[in-house]
Structure formats: C-alpha cells, structure tokens
Amino acid sequence: MQGGRGRHLRADEMRPPAAPLASTERSRRKTPPAISGPASGLGNTLARLGRYEEAETLYRAALAMREAAERPSPSDIANSLANLGGLYRDIGRLAESEDFLKRSIAMRENLPQGPRALANSLSMLADLYQDT
C-alpha cells in the first residue's frame, strides 16, 4: 500500500492489544512511563482509522500513566487531555470534549514551552464550539 493510510495499517498490524495496557489501576502504576508515548501515538493511528473505542482505551491509559508518573510532565498530560478532547469531539461526545480541552488549555497556559501547543488546544475548542 502507498500513502499515509498504508503506513497506518502496517503500524496497526504490529500493535499490542490495548486492553492489557489499561486493564487495571495496579498495572498502570507498574507500567513504565516511557510506554505512554507509544500508547498515545498508537491511539492517534487508531483514531485516524476510525477505531475510536481502541483509541480511547490507549489515550486513557497514556493519561493515567502520565499522571501516575513519579515526575509527571505537565506538557505530556496536556497532550493526553487534548487527544481525548479531540477524540470525543470527533465521536460527538461534546460535553466530555469540552471538559478535556479546557483542562488541556488550563495546563498549557502555565507552561513555558511557548504558545504553539496552547494555540492548538484553543483551536480545537473553537472548532468544537463552531460545530455545536
């Protein structure tokens, strides 16, 4: 297969099952935080493929791992919140989308990394309001 979608399908074929990553609170505490990045990335791929339930599972697992990390990264947590907000907007769960996007914005307003990520979350929230 050629093009971006073909790459997503090949990446999807190599993915681990989502359920074990998010199965229990105890397993999330034991999961190394380095797994949260690939889990989030795979969630992005699954969301693009329309596999929203699996994407949600991975996004929630990534958020839980990031929040439970010994030294949580506010930037990574904000990214997870924005991912969930965007996913919920895409599947019509608008109230949940708004909540996650507002949390992402609140975190990003206090980060020194610059305005790009904040602008992204604000744009996603504006899109949500425009669609309603």
What digits encode the pLDDT tens for the residues 97-123?
A: 999 999 999 999 988 876 888 999 999
Considering the entire predicted model, what is its pTM? 0.77
Which of 98, 79, 88, 91 lies closest to 40 in space, CA to CA?
79
What does the pLDDT read at residue 7? 56
Cβ(121)–Cβ(108) below 8 Å: yes
Alpha helices in the chain (DSSP H): 3-13, 18-21, 25-30, 36-48, 52-68, 74-90, 94-108, 115-131
Q: What is d(CA 30, CA 69) in angstroms, rounded to the nearest whole number?
A: 10
Helix (H, G, I), strand (E, B) or coil at 93: coil
Return the minimum-mean-pLDDT range out of 11-15, 39-43, 54-58: 11-15
